[in-house]
Amino acid sequence: MSKSILIIGGGVIGLCTAYYCLQSGRQVTLLERGEPDHDGCSLGNAGFVVPSHFTPLAAPGAVSAGLRMMFNPESPFAIRPRLSLDLLKWVWHFCRSANAGHVARSAPILRDLNLASRACFEELAALPGADFGLVKNGLLMLCKSDKALEEEARLAAAARRLGLFAEALTPDETARLDPGVRREIAGAVYFPQDCHLHPQRFMSWLTQTVQDAGGRIEWSTRLLGWRAEGGVIQSAQTNRGDYEADEYVLTAGSWTPGVVRGLGLNLLIQAGKGYSLTLPHPPRRPIIASLLTEARVAVTPMGEAVRFGGTMEITGLDRSINQRRVAGIVKSIPKYLPDFQPEQFEKVPVWRGLRPCSPDGIPYIGRVRSYSNLCIGSGHAMMGLSLGPITGKLIAQILSNVPPSIDISALHPDRFD
């Protein structure tokens, strides 16, 4: 009989895991704490698929930059101080990881994961009925200053050494590549292998595809505890009763640390809050997605609309909207894209989501040592959507006792024990 899989968490990682486990012939049940129309961090993000993002969040200069930004209420990065041992441990390991050696070790892994996930997106987009707006025309890193352009040019050189495609562009070259919107920039770096898609359409399609394939999704189901014995999980205890399975997979995003605490595991994850605003009728519409480099604001064309997203606000599981951070996003946009002015965003709803961030900026993927039938897929930070398909595929391989198609030894969930 096929082994049964219980997946806890119905974001993009959980749904992708369910999809690939079903493809391998497993029986799959997915528990999601939200209702069918829930709003998770997989739904309102920028929709980027980013082979260009091979530098982890923990990188040289990240600590000093974070300290400089901490006291600016409109900055793109902030850590809200609070009495929390978990936060102190996370900050400690973040500081220890923010070095050139860690970046050199992590870059090939993140490159391989993102390229493999891009290939998965292409395969999924080719399936009958799949329509989630996958656009394969790259990403522009727009630089306002010469200093930023020099830094991005160095990043482009590093990308080429990793076998990726990257090209520095003048403002005129950028305009010829994408004439749909005016830009006031010093230049740009173009990563042609990047893609973008419509996250909500992808999630809706994936949810329906999982259910059509026989996957069972239990909505409004919150994990309350565990029953385990001898290093084997026997059942997951929820507000709707106990669920038993042969294998358990945790894909609970920012809620993962609380979920595993009952098992005696200490998984270092902090929630990084991000915001987005989507203009349904923009004054101009770019063709190519972009990142406003200094402001760290993503710009994504989605159908007739344009989405703007940004900030990394380490605040715990706080889903309130910080209007000063939102104002920082809105104020930065006209500096690069003068056709967009703050008054155009006055009545636009603000979306926010909590992204699960590991302290070293690379995800947790794999089995834990303490329990023979528990896998983790979490800690993807801003690359959750981008790495969703490959994470699900790798976990499905692990559960089938197939050697993972990518070396994920560095992503072990117990690496900070």
Tell me the two tokens of residue 302. Answer: 């989605």
Give the span between the Cα atoms of 225 and 237, in whole angstroms.
5
pTM comes to: 0.96
Give the span between the Cα atoms of 177 and 175, in whole angstroms.
5
Give the span between the Cα atoms of 66 and 95, in whole angstroms.
11
pLDDT-derived band at 60 (thresholds 50, 70, 90) equals confident
Mean of the pLDDT values across residues 190-211?
97
DSSP 178-197: -TTS----SEEEEETT-EE-
Strand blocks (E) in 50-138: 77-79
Closest Cα partner for 4 from 19, 22, 20, 16?
22
Mean of per-residue pLDDT scores for the chain: 94
Ordered by where they begin, the domains of the chain are 4-42+201-269+361-411 (3.50.50.60)
- Sorted by sequence, the CB contacts under 8 Å of residue 300 that are 6+ apart come out as 46, 47, 48, 196, 289, 306, 307, 308, 309
Model pLDDT, residue 402: 94
Positive or negative: CA dihedral 358, 359, 365, 369: negative
Is residue 4 exposed (0-12), middle (13-18) or buried (19+ Cβ within 10 Å)?
middle
| 130 pLDDT higher than 90 | yes
pLDDT greater at residue 155 or residue 64: 155
Give the span between the Cα atoms of 118 and 390, in whole angstroms.
8
Q: What's phi and psi for 218, nearest 5 deg? A: -105, 105
Model pLDDT, residue 79: 82
Mean of the pLDDT values across residues 3-23?
97
Tell me the two tokens of residue 183. Answer: 């830009």
Angle, alpha carbons 277-278-280 (nearest 5°): 150
Give the span between the Cα atoms of 321 and 308, in whole angstroms.
16
Percentage of residues in the chain having pLDDT higher than 90: 88
Model pLDDT, residue 224: 95
Give the span between the Cα atoms of 163 and 329, in whole angstroms.
33
Give the span between the Cα atoms of 122 and 48, in whole angstroms.
14
Name beta bridge partners: 43: none
| 154 pLDDT higher than 90 | yes
Let me know how long the chain is: 417
CA distances from 234 to 27, 220, 246, 271, 302 (A): 17, 22, 8, 29, 44
Model pLDDT, residue 340: 97
pLDDT-derived band at 1 (thresholds 50, 70, 90) equals low
Tell me the two tokens of residue 141. Answer: 């890193």
| 210 pLDDT higher than 60 | yes
Mean of the pLDDT values across residues 326-352?
96
| 186 pLDDT higher than 80 | yes
- Of 33-42, 105-114, 308-317, 378-387, give the lowest mean pLDDT range: 33-42
Model pLDDT, residue 82: 83
Q: What's phi and psi for 226, nearest 5 deg? A: -135, 155
Give the span between the Cα atoms of 310 and 75, in whole angstroms.
10
Positive or negative: CA dihedral 174, 175, 180, 184: positive
Contact 320, 313 (CB under 8 A): no
pLDDT-derived band at 39 (thresholds 50, 70, 90) equals low
- Sorted by sequence, the CB contacts under 8 Å of residue 361 that are 6+ apart come out as 56, 57, 58, 59, 97, 106, 381
